[in-house]
C-alpha cells in the first residue's frame, strides 16, 4: 500500500509564502516584447545622444580648449562627469534590488491571490502649503511682467501682490499648524462678525482696517520664485522618500517597508487596527486626511500617515479590512492505494 504524496503540499506551502516582489521577478517578460521595448528605447536614445554630442562639440569644445586641465571650470566638469558615472553604475548594480513603492504596486496588481490592497506613504505636512507655492509662482510671473511693464501688469503695485500672497500664506499656516474642525471654524467666523459689528457701532471699523496698511509686503519676482522652488523641492523629497518608506495593507497582513532593500516588517491583521482621522476641516477640503495604525502591543507607538485623496483611500482601506484572502489552491492528485 502506497502512502500519500507529501512533496506536493510542501511545495504548495512554499509557493504561498512567496513575496509579491519575488513573484513579479519570476514572471519574465516575453522576448518579443523585450525586443520591441529595446528598439523603442534605442530609437529615442540615439537621436538624443547625437544632439547632446553635437551641442557639446559645437559649444563646449572651443571653450574647453581655452581652459587649463587644472582650472576650476575643468574640475567642475570632472565632478559632474564622475557624478553621472557613479549614478549610472549604481543604477545598474542596484536597480534589481530596490523595493520601490511603484514596483510593489505592480506586484500587487499582478498577484492573483490579492484583489484588494492599499499602499500608502506619509506626505510631509508642508504639502499643505501647495496653495502658497502656487501663489508664489503666480506672484513671480506677475512681478516679472510688472517690472517689464508688459500690458496692464505694469500698473499693478507690488504691495498688492504681496498682500494677496501674505493672505494665502496666513491661511495655509492656520491649516498646517492647527487642527481646525468645522465647529471651531464656525465659532471663529461668528466671533469675527460680532467683533466687526461692535467696531461698527463705535465707528472704528475703518480705523481698525487702516492698521493693516503697515503690513505692506513687496518681494521681487526672484524672491517669489525662490519660495516656490524651495516648496516644490520639499514636496519632491517627501515623494521620493515615500518610494522606499511605505506601508502595504492586504487582507491578511500589513508590510512596513523601511528602506530601498528588503528591510521591513510584516504584521498580521489581528495585531493592528486602523483609524481614519478627518477632523481637520480645512485639511479635508484640500483632500488630505490621516490614517492612524494602532498596534495590539500597547508599548508600540501608533503610526500616523498623512495621505492625499483620503476619501478614496478610506474606501479602499474599508474593503481591505473587511476581507480575508485565501491563496488559490492547486488541485492535488487523489491518493493511490492498494
Residue 29: the pLDDT is 46
Q: What is the C-alpha separation between 292 and 274, in angstroms, rounded?
A: 6
Residues 6+ apart with CB under 8 A from 314: 276, 278, 289, 291
Q: What is the C-alpha separation between 267 and 296, in angstroms, rounded?
A: 10
Q: What is the C-alpha separation between 119 and 273, in angstroms, rounded?
A: 16
Exposed, middle or buried by CB within 10 Å (0-12, 13-18, 19+), for 328? Answer: exposed
Residue with cell 549614478: 87
Residues 6+ apart with CB under 8 A from 276: 289, 290, 291, 292, 310, 314, 317
Q: Which helix (H) or strand (E) holds 267?
A: strand 264-268
Residue with cell 496698511: 213
Given its phi and psi angles, is residue 259 left (phi above 0), alpha (psi -120 to 50 degrees) or beta? Answer: left
Angstrom CA distances, 84 to 34, 72, 77, 88, 162, stand at 26, 19, 11, 6, 41
- Residue 283, all three cell numbers: 485639511
Q: What angle do CA 276, 168, 190 make, to 5 degrees?
A: 70
Q: What is the C-alpha separation between 317 and 95, in angstroms, rounded?
A: 30
Residue-by-residue pLDDT tens, the chain, 338 positions: 444 444 444 443 444 445 666 555 555 444 455 566 656 676 776 677 667 666 665 565 556 556 666 777 777 777 877 888 887 787 777 666 777 888 888 888 888 877 888 899 999 988 888 889 999 999 888 888 877 777 766 677 777 788 888 888 888 888 777 777 777 778 888 888 898 888 888 888 887 777 766 666 778 888 888 999 999 999 999 999 988 889 988 888 888 888 877 777 888 888 888 889 888 877 888 889 899 999 888 888 898 999 988 889 888 888 888 876 555 554 445 544 43
Residue with cell 476619501: 311
- Residue 108, all three cell numbers: 500587487
Would you give the DSSP letter of residue 156? Answer: S
pTM of the model: 0.67
Given its phi and psi angles, is residue 254 left (phi above 0), alpha (psi -120 to 50 degrees) or beta? Answer: beta
Residue 123: the pLDDT is 92
Angstrom CA distances, 196 to 2, 191, 193, 200, stand at 93, 9, 5, 6
**324 close to 252: Cβ distance less than 8 angstroms:** yes
Residue 35: the pLDDT is 62
**266 close to 253: Cβ distance less than 8 angstroms:** yes
- Residue 255, all three cell numbers: 508590510
Amino acid at each position: 500500500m502506497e502512502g500519500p504524496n507529501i512533496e506536493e503540499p510542501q511545495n504548495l506551502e512554499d509557493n504561498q509564502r512567496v513575496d509579491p516582489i519575488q513573484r513579479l521577478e519570476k514572471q519574465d517578460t516575453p522576448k518579443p516584447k523585450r525586443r520591441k521595448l529595446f528598439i523603442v528605447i534605442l530609437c529615442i536614445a540615439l537621436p538624443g545622444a547625437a544632439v547632446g554630442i553635437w551641442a557639446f562639440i559645437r559649444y563646449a569644445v572651443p571653450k574647453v580648449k581655452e581652459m587649463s586641465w587644472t582650472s576650476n571650470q575643468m574640475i567642475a566638469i570632472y565632478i559632474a562627469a564622475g557624478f553621472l558615472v557613479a549614478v549610472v553604475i549604481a543604477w545598474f548594480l542596484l536597480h534589481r534590488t530596490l523595493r520601490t513603492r511603484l514596483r510593489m504596486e505592480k506586484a500587487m496588481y499582478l498577484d492573483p491571490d490579492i484583489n484588494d490592497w492599499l499602499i500608502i506613504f506619509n506626505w510631509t505636512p508642508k504639502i499643505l502649503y501647495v496653495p502658497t507655492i502656487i501663489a508664489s509662482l503666480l506672484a513671480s510671473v506677475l512681478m516679472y511682467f510688472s517690472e517689464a511693464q508688459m500690458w496692464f501688469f505694469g500698473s499693478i503695485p507690488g504691495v498688492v501682490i504681496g498682500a494677496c500672497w501674505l493672505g494665502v500664506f496666513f491661511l495655509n499656516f492656520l491649516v498646517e499648524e492647527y487642527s481646525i474642525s468645522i465647529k471651531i471654524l464656525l465659532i471663529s467666523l461668528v466671533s469675527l462678525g460680532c467683533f466687526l459689528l461692535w467696531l461698527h457701532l463705535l465707528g472704528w471699523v475703518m480705523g481698525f482696517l487702516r492698521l493693516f496698511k503697515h503690513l505692506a509686503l513687496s518681494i521681487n519676482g526672484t524672491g517669489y520664485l525662490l519660495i516656490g522652488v524651495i516648496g516644490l523641492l520639499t514636496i519632491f523629497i517627501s515623494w521620493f522618500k515615500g518610494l522606499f518608506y511605505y506601508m502595504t495593507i492586504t487582507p491578511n497582513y500589513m508590510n512596513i517597508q523601511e528602506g530601498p532593500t528588503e528591510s521591513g516588517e510584516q504584521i498580521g491583521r489581528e495585531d493592528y487596527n486602523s483609524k481614519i482621522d478627518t477632523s481637520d476641516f480645512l485639511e479635508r477640503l484640500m483632500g488630505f486626511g490621516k490614517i492612524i495604525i494602532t498596534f495590539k502591543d500597547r508599548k508600540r507607538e501608533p503610526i500616523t500617515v498623512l495621505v492625499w485623496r483620503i476619501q478614496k483611500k478610506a474606501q479602499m482601506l474599508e474593503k481591505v479590512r473587511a476581507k480575508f484572502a485565501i491563496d488559490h489552491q492547486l488541485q492535488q492528485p487523489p491518493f493511490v492505494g492498494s
